[in-house]
Every structure is written in C-alpha cells, then in structure tokens.
C-alpha cells in the first residue's frame, strides 16, 4: 500500500528538497525584492513602506548616475574579460608544455585567485599609493611621471581592471588547462603528417577544439565580473567622485548609506535583468559554436 504510493510519487519526493531549497533561497528573495522595489521605504518603523508603483524604476531610468554606472559596469567587465581570456589561454597553452618547475609555476599562478579579495584590494591600495606606492616608485625609477592611479577620474577604472586581470586570469588558465588535457591526440598526429607548423596547429586545431571550454570560462568569469564589489569597495568605494561606481556599488550606497530600500531593490532588479540578458546571449552563442565541432 505505502510502497505503491511511494512508487507513484517517487519523482516528487526525490525532487522536493531541491525544490524547497530553490523556493526558499532563490524564488522567495526575488519575489520579495520585486515587492520592495514597488515601495518607498527607509526602514523606518513609524513610517510604513509607501506604495509608489513603478516610480522607483522610472526614476532610475532617467537618472544619469544610473546610466553612468551601467556604462562603467560594462566597461570594467568587457575590458577585463578580454585581457583575461587572451592572457589566460596563452598562459594555459604555455604552462601545459612540459618544463622544469612546471608544478611550482602552476602553484604560484593560482595564488592571487585563492587570496581573500579584500586583502588583495588592500595590497593594491598600497601599490597604487601615489607617494610611497610601488607602482609610482617603478615609474619614477624609469624616469616617467608618477600617476595618481586610483585618485584620478580617468585612471581609476583601468587601474581596477589591471587589478582584476592580475587576480582572475588564473581562473581562466585553470579551466583552459583542464580543457587542454581532454583534447584528442589524433588531429595533432594527422596535422604533423601533413606538415603543419606549430602555429597552424594552434590556430586550426587547439583553438577551435577549445572554444566550448573557453566560452564556459568566459561565462563563469563574466558573471563574477559584472558583480564585482569587494575589490572596488575596498579600494575606492566608487570614487573619486563617481568614477568607479559600478551597479553593485550603487546598489550598496542606495541601500546602506541612503536607506532607500525601494530604489535599491528596483536597481537590483534592473541589474538582475541585465546580467540575465548577457548570460542568456552567451549561452546561446556557446550552443551555436559548440555545435560546429
């Protein structure tokens, strides 16, 4: 009797924990955030949340600070991902060759990635320090003019991008190295027989075969990049002025400095939408390219 019931409902019972988890940890927070985004609320107990409909959204969409943040988010993410991917693939190919000290080299490469982001940010804050920092000491010893790095409106994002490249290129390396080990050897043997040069082998065999792996790495990295918060907050808090304020930093400021929880939630929803669009596009791209090989 019982076992028959169990048999019939097996699929529900086994999926229930996962469904519950998703409802509690993902669906509920999203629905709740959508709800808050339709109110104006400063966490006050005397003044209850005030229904404002979509005005939080319309206000944001006409706010130049919002569009500035969108632009900076994409600028930071796209430049970083470009260099991280190119460097990551190159380093991965180099490091996969057999050489003395290969293991040690691999270990050192992973170090930036496993360190705590905030401590990395503090280290770079010192490196970029205009008067005593390492970066300017090097420039001075090479007879260049010292730069303001994080203190300059024009340089702050490139400086942060450099930090991100240093920190996260190893992640691309790691994934691509794993991908390289799974490549079949036959195409290479065939190419050798046909007299292909190493460069030709790289561009015509290695790279095409690696495309799905690289795209996976890019997607994983891009999601994190768009959400970058820790290093930026710990180094500049979005400054100077608003020159390094990305969407995530703006959300934080709206919520925890201004106590505008409705507006912050609306911003979060728009941000969520933007990331979804980017990722869905990339996954579609991966399906198309992945299918070619």
Partner 1 sequence: MRMLKKSMIACVSSALLLTTACGSGGAGPAENSGAPQAAAKPFEGKKITVFVQNHPWTDTIKAALPEFEESTGMKVDIQGFSDTQLQQKLAVQLTSKSESPDVFMFRPYMDKIQYSKNGWVTPLDEYVKKDPGYDFGDFVKSAVDENIVDNKLLGIPIFADQFVMYYRKDILEKHGIAIPKTLDELKEAAKKVHDPANEMYGFVSRGERNSLVVGVSSYLFAEGGDFIKGNLMTGATAAVNTPEAISGFQIYADLLKNYAPQGVLNMAWPQAAGIFAQGKAAFYTETAAVYQNVTDPKKSLISDKVGFAMFPAGKNGVKPFNVAAWSLGINSNTQNKDASWAFIEWATNKENVLEIQRNGVPGTRNSVWDMKEGTETYPQDLAEAIKETMKVGIGHNVPQVISVGEARDAVGTIVVKAVLGEDIKAAADKANADLQAIIDKDKAK
Q: By CB under 8 A, name the binding residues for partner 1.
A: 42-48, 51, 129-132, 146-153, 236-237, 239-242, 253, 256-260
- Supply the minimum distance, in Å, between the C-beta of residue 159 and partner 1: 11
Round to the nearest angstrom and report the end-to-end CA distance of the chain.
51
Taking the complex as a whole, how short is the minimal distance between the CB of residue 29 and partner 1, in angstroms? 17
* Six token digits for residue 51: 């229904």
Match 């940890």 to its residue by tokens: 25
Q: Which is nearer to partner 1, 60 or 222 (CB)?
A: 60
d(CA 205, CA 197): 11
- Tell the smallest beta-carbon distance from residue 248 to partner 1 (Å): 17
Q: Are 175 and 91 in contact (CB under 8 A)?
A: no
Q: Of 5 and 258, which CB lies nearer to partner 1 in the complex structure?
A: 258
Give the nearer residue to partner 1 in terms of CB position, either 168 or 233. Answer: 233
CB of 69 to partner 1, least distance (A): 14
DSSP per residue, 69-100: HHHHHHHHHHHHHHHHHHHHHHHHHHHHS--T
Closer by beta carbon to partner 1, 144 or else 258: 258
CB of 254 to partner 1, least distance (A): 9
CB of 272 vs partner 1, minimal distance in Å: 23
Smallest gap from Cβ 224 to partner 1, in A, equals 25
Tell me how far apart the alpha carbons of residues 287 and 293 are, in angstroms, rounded to a whole number. Answer: 11
Nearer to partner 1, 38 or 81 (CB): 38
CB 80 within 8 Å of CB 163: no
Closest CA to 281 of 218, 202, 239: 218
Give Cβ neighbours of residue 118 (< 8 Å, ≥ 6 apart). 230, 231, 234
Measured from the CB atom, the residue of 212 and 239 that comes closer to partner 1 is 239
Alpha helical stretches, state H, 97-245? 102-114, 117-127, 134-141, 156-181, 186-193, 198-201, 207-226, 230-235
The encoded tokens of residue 88 equal: 């990551």
**Separation of CA 32 from chain center:** 25
Specify the residue, 42 or 107, whose C-beta has the smaller distance to partner 1. 42
Closer Cβ to partner 1, 121 or 210, answer by number: 121
Q: Which two tokens stand for residue 256?
A: 């925890």
DSSP string, 6-55: HHHHHHHHHHHHHHHHHIIIIIHHHHHHHHHTTEE--S-SSS--EE-TTH
| Closest CB 238 distance from partner 1, rounded Å | 9
């Amino acid at each position: 009797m019982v076992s028959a019931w169990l048999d019939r409902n097996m699929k529900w019972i086994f999926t229930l924990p996962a469904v519950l988890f998703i409802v509690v940890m993902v669906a509920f927070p999203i629905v709740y955030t959508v709800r808050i985004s339709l109110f104006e609320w400063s966490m006050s107990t005397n003044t209850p949340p005030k229904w404002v409909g979509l005005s939080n959204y319309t206000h944001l969409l006409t706010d130049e600070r919002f569009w500035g943040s969108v632009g900076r988010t994409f600028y930071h993410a796209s430049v970083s991902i470009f260099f991280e991917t190119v460097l990551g693939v190159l380093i991965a190919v180099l490091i996969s060759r057999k050489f003395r000290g290969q293991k040690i080299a691999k270990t050192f490469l992973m170090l930036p990635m496993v360190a705590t982001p905030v401590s990395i940010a503090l280290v770079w804050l010192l490196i970029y320090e205009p008067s005593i920092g390492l970066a300017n000491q090097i420039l001075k010893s090479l007879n260049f003019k010292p730069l303001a790095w994080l203190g300059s409106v024009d340089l702050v994002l490139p400086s942060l991008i450099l930090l991100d490249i240093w920190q996260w290129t190893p992640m691309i390396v790691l994934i691509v190295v794993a991908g390289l080990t799974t490549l079949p050897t036959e195409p290479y043997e065939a190419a050798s027989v046909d007299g292909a040069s190493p460069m030709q082998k790289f561009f015509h065999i290695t790279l095409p075969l690696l495309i799905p792996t690289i795209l996976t790495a890019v997607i994983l990295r891009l999601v994190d990049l768009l959400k970058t918060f820790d290093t930026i907050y710990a180094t500049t808090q979005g400054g100077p002025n608003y020159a390094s304020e990305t969407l995530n930093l703006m959300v934080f400021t709206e919520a925890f400095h201004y106590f505008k929880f409705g507006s912050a939630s609306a911003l979060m929803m728009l941000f969520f939408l933007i990331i979804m669009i980017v990722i869905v596009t990339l996954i579609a791209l991966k399906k198309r390219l992945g299918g070619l090989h």
